[in-house]
Structure 1
Amino acid sequence: MQTTSVGVIRIATKGPGDVSGLMSMIGSGAIDPTEILAILGKTEGNGGVNDFTREYAVAALCTALAPLLGLSREDVEQRIAFVMSGGTEGVLSPHITVFTRRAAERPARVTGKRLGIGMAHTRDFLPEELGRSAQITETAKAVKAAMEDAGIIDPADVHFVQIKCPLLTSDRVEAAAARGNKTATTSSYGSMAYSRGASALGVAVALGEIAADVGDADVLRRHDLFSKVASTSAGIELMHNVVIVLGNSTASVSPFEIGHAVMSDAIDAAAVMSALQSVGLAVAPQATKGRQLVNIFAKAEASPDGSVRGSRHTMLEDTDISSTRHARAAVGGLIAGLAGTGAVYVSGGAEHQGPPGGGPVAVIAQLSD
């Protein structure tokens, strides 16, 4: 198994099309563009079907990187995994997190498991396959391929699986109907939940968190079936799933570690603290000697039963603001307070991603070595 070194750099952005921070890092030599494997970002859109800040951000990044890599914009998007999550409500701050990977020798001082990253793609889906068994099965295959790419053997070493998945548009629904097939839903907004949920179940199947016989009827219905490490985000800009696996591996010599915990609800501060502690960090201010917070990645959703610890919430009853936006703001504020920064990656819509109303939270820390 090849030994690799993974790099992680968080860069603030002034807008969805801002690549100046990334270009500055490349210009200074802090980032080698040929080593970029994935870029995860938070953009200041609405996070809905018509959130074009995601596509805009990816286009800007591909345009900037294309001449440096000697590739077309389209080829850059195939080479690098881009996952843009729309919605920076409340104190959440727009930013990107750049992951690099290169071959490396193991220094004598580096022992144990360090952060590893792997990427894989599913095939393109037909509109009628979104939110159904085909998406679950193909996602599970891609997760296993990404684990292999990351050099991770034990599923217990996987701490976060980020997926970008498709959604339905009216044209896609009509295309399925023209073939005599029905889609899981005819609602574009509703299809985001179906696609996120099926993708998360695929992660759970791949990691052995649930049985492999999960099917169409379980998506968005069996809330007891979920992954503790899946984070899925739906967008209009693709028809396949992009899978990024983050975990700790003996094949990595990077100066980073990742850990995670699972929030039981939107105000579960103890879980966030547990995730920080899993990589040797304390709550803000992080004065832990020899370790530094890089970023926190979390999922958020409005509890489907309409309450949080016995108190009624109105997130699902607000016709002005989507519940996903409420949830991102609430969970983002909680995590920001504990992390000491609003530049954290909190994604809305946690169907089958952690228990109902909760979600996974992962932390990456940099070690002094």
Structure 2
Amino acid sequence: MSFRAALVFQILRCMHRSTPLRQLQVFRLPMSHPGDLSALAALLDTGRVRADEVVAVIGKTEGNGGVNDFTRGYFTQSLMHLLGARMGRDPADLLLELPCVLSGGTEGVLSPHYSVFVRSAASADAPACPALAMGRAFSPPTPAADIGRWAQVHAVADAVRSAMADAGIDNPADVCFVQVKGPCVTAARAAAARAAGQQVVSDDPNRSMALSRAAGAFGVALALGEMADDPALEAGLLTRFDLWCARAGVSTGVEVQANEIVLLGHSAHWRGPLRMACEPMADALDLPAVTRVLARLGLRADPQLDNADRHRVAAALVKCEPDRRGQVRGTRVTMLDDTDINAQRHIRAAVGGLVAGVLGDGRIFVSGGAEHQGPEGGGLVAVIAEAA
């Protein structure tokens, strides 16, 4: 940890300890199109949610999930304008402090939706701690030349530590899951970097997205003490798939220029009924990993959650990856060879269907591109649910 990051960590931790106990609520809301915020607007109108207590949004839009998926930017712009109008603030300023992590692509049974994270003072009757805690942070804007390099790993790691302090979590072992949204190298950003005498790690925007996801996963692992701060490991990005983090979910897009962090864990400083569990998935057919996550939260899938347990689930987040060996459990698959449908769309549909079948619900954040986020050819599954 750099001196500056350590200082910020200590200051935020002390500030947190002097504040009242906090409580996290998660509202999983539908959207009829990528700019539809009517469900959130209704919560604001009724007073169930205060605009200034919305601290993060994680959602699925119905775009293609690629470099040119502008549904993510459309939703982000709509969100910032809605909250800005309610708070009397400039939407451009909110962009710098409110993480909006979006993944495009709702193939198969996946349903477009967004989860709104609301942080407030704990109510007097809130269940006892430790409860689900949430912290957020932004890195400084990441230059195109730093994307997919150790500089980005460091930037993500410092931001994760700041998010831990924001959540009031001192022990990395108490962190359940870290959602990262990172930037990528577009053709325009690559040209600007070259004009400034800098070299980008790749001119291919799709490869830069993968490298950015990989650097994000390394950054989370570094911050949580799972990886050494060794710049030589930069060569392992997209090459050493034995290096992975089981608590990192990383998405990338053209709509961001910094690394946005949403960190979730458990803390004695928080109250409320919400808890979280996360498990790595060995491959695209690892249904037992899904049931293990649910069991850790007291949810029983037999083979699917019943109505009561299904309504306890507040959010589900999944990372998945087409196996680079072109097979699953020794059987050949054609995801990587299909020139009509991108492999990421194949895997989102396949794993999304598997998890949705267990949960009995298609409102799942399923993000492809799980480089170093779980075992090779696998990924991870994380669930937020109300305690029994």
Change (3 A) 1:290 1:166: closer
- Quick one: distance in 2 between partners of 1:93 and 1:130? 31
- Quick one: distance in 2 between partners of 1:287 and 1:105? 27
- Quick one: distance in 2 between partners of 1:292 and 1:133? 40
Q: What pairs with 1:1-80 in structure 2 (closer than 5 Å)? A: 1=17, 2=19, 3-80=21-98
1:324 to 344, 357, 360: 344
Give how far 1:304 is off: 1.4
- Alignment partner, residue 272 of structure 1: 290
- Quick one: distance in 2 between partners of 1:300 and 1:160? 15
Is the counterpart of residue 251 in structure 1 residue 251 in structure 2? no
Specify every segment of 5 or more residues in structure 2 that has no aligned partner in the other structure, as ranges: 1-16
- Alignment partner, residue 305 of structure 1: 325
- Quick one: distance in 2 between partners of 1:338 and 1:54? 27
Give how far 1:18 is off: 0.3
Is the counterpart of residue 119 in structure 1 residue 136 in structure 2? yes
Give how far 1:25 is off: 1.3
- Quick one: distance in 2 between partners of 1:187 and 1:291? 43
* Number of corresponding residues: 367
- Is 281-290 or 205-214 further displaced after alignment? 281-290
Cα contact 2:300–2:309 (8 A) shared by 1? no
Q: What pairs with 1:136-175 in structure 2 (closer than 5 Å)? A: 136-175=153-192
Cα contact 1:120–1:142 (8 A) shared by 2? yes
- Quick one: distance in 1 between partners of 2:306 and 2:296? 14
Q: Which has more helix, going by share of residues?
A: 2
RMSD between aligned residues: 1.6
2:299 to 247, 268, 281: 281
- Quick one: distance in 1 between partners of 2:129 and 2:44? 30
- Quick one: distance in 2 between partners of 1:166 and 1:123? 11
Cα contact 2:154–2:219 (8 A) shared by 1? yes
Identity among equivalent positions (%) equals 44
Specify every segment of 5 or more residues in structure 1 that has no aligned partner in the other structure, as ranges: none
- Alignment partner, residue 314 of structure 1: 334
- Quick one: distance in 2 between partners of 1:106 and 1:130? 45
Q: Give the letter for the 2:185 counterpart.
A: L
Q: Give the letter for the 2:108 counterpart.
A: G
Is the counterpart of residue 224 in structure 1 residue 242 in structure 2? yes
Give how far 1:286 is off: 3.3
Which digits, 9 at most, give the CA deviation of each residue in 1:174-231, with x for residues without a partner?
1222233221111011111010110111001111122221532111111111110111
Cα contact 1:332–1:346 (8 A) shared by 2? yes
- Alignment partner, residue 334 of structure 1: 354
Change (3 A) 1:288 1:152: farther
- Quick one: distance in 1 between partners of 2:240 and 2:109? 33
Give how far 1:363 is off: 0.6
Q: Give the letter for the 2:244 counterpart.
A: F
